[in-house]
Amino acid sequence: MSLILSFVLITGVAPPSAAPASTLGELEHAMESTKEKVRARAALLLGAVAGSESTGLLESAAENDPSVLVRLACVEAMLNRRSARGLPALFRVGALDQARAVRALVAERLPALIDSKSLPFIRRAFEERDPRVRALIMRTLPVPLPESFYALLVRAHADYPEVRSAAFARAMLLDDSVRWSLFEQIARSVQEDAARGMAEELGHVDDHRVVPILLMVFDRGESSPELRRAAVTALSHARRHLPLRELLAQARESTHSHVRMRALKLLETIGGESVIETMMAVLEDPELPVRATAAMVLARLGHRGAVSKLETMALDPVNQRIVGHLERALEILRMGTQMSEERR
């Protein structure tokens, strides 16, 4: 049974196709009645009365009336108007109302009101402080998504986790070409928080196409430790899609030290015997920064077999400029050994 039919049965009044504007005063008075059925009937009638006053009455009652029946009637009346101006209030009610029936009515009917013309009002609603409102907006965006909405979707990836997850889930419904193009756009976005949020979400997607996107974020991480950490974590989940052999070769054979260091950092997300073996070999790299990178990767991977080699390197004057990195790597490994022994 539809909610509107339930209203008709409960109140005995079907929503009219039109109501004279002269009834506004009477309806306003009826909205103050102590009887919820009277207020519900008045709300349904108000839906056919044009003007900002009737809109204000409906929005106020939809958010504040203590009766679920009345709030349902207000929402039904607002939805029947099919006016984009009511979207901010409808989003608030649909996200925050305590009654499941009210939230369900908004969730079912609201998407039909959203199109490119409604974007200014959706942007206004997106300024709401409560993240639940912004998450609902993301869940109701149309698919396929008009290009005019892309900026809002990008912005949402920099929001609270529930908003970001809703935006990402919506993006995953888009056509493949549109989806991956949008992710590339976010990866390059000046909004670093959006790139970081997207990387965290992509870490849960088992698809080889996430790797190029995550590598874009990873390479931006030179200037942002948080961005780098998000990319590394996501890449660790996608490690089976990483080009292991290519990275191993780069770490040992590239003529550019920055390429070797990048390969070492990416290999850390993969781990395993071949990675450990390569890290130990790279401790002999001619460039000090590359050796320091390998030492820290070995420490973070917990390879205690590197302790003796790192101790020797720390005493060698040739490594004086990276002795701090070597000592830090040794500290991490010894701490791990101590914790392991304490657990026994």
**Structural domain boundaries of the chain?**
1-109, 250-338
Burial of 251-267, coded b for 16+ CB within 10 Å and e otherwise, reads beeeeeeeebbbbbbbb
pLDDT given at position 138: 97
Averages of pLDDT over runs of 10 residues in the chain (344 residues) are 47 48 77 93 88 90 96 96 94 97 96 92 96 97 92 96 97 94 94 95 96 95 89 94 96 96 96 96 97 97 96 96 97 76 47
Report the distance separating Cα 38 and Cα 36, nearest Å: 5
- The tokens describing 108, both together, are 């079912």
Report the distance separating Cα 222 and Cα 236, nearest Å: 18
Q: Enter the DSSP assignment of 16.
A: P
Report the distance separating Cα 217 and Cα 159, nearest Å: 17
Asked if residues 258 and 287 have their Cβ atoms less than 8 Å apart, the reply is no
**pTM higher than the cut 0.85:** no
pLDDT given at position 118: 94
Q: How many CB atoms lie within 10 A of CB 307?
A: 16
CATH superfamily of 1-109: Leucine-rich Repeat Variant (1.25.10.10)
Residue with tokens 């039909």: 112
Q: Enter the DSSP assignment of 256.
A: -
pLDDT given at position 99: 97
Distance of CA 245 to the CA centre of its chain: 33
Q: Which residues, 6+ apart, have CB-to-CB distance to 50 below 8 Å?
A: 21
pLDDT given at position 223: 82
- The tokens describing 107, both together, are 């969730």
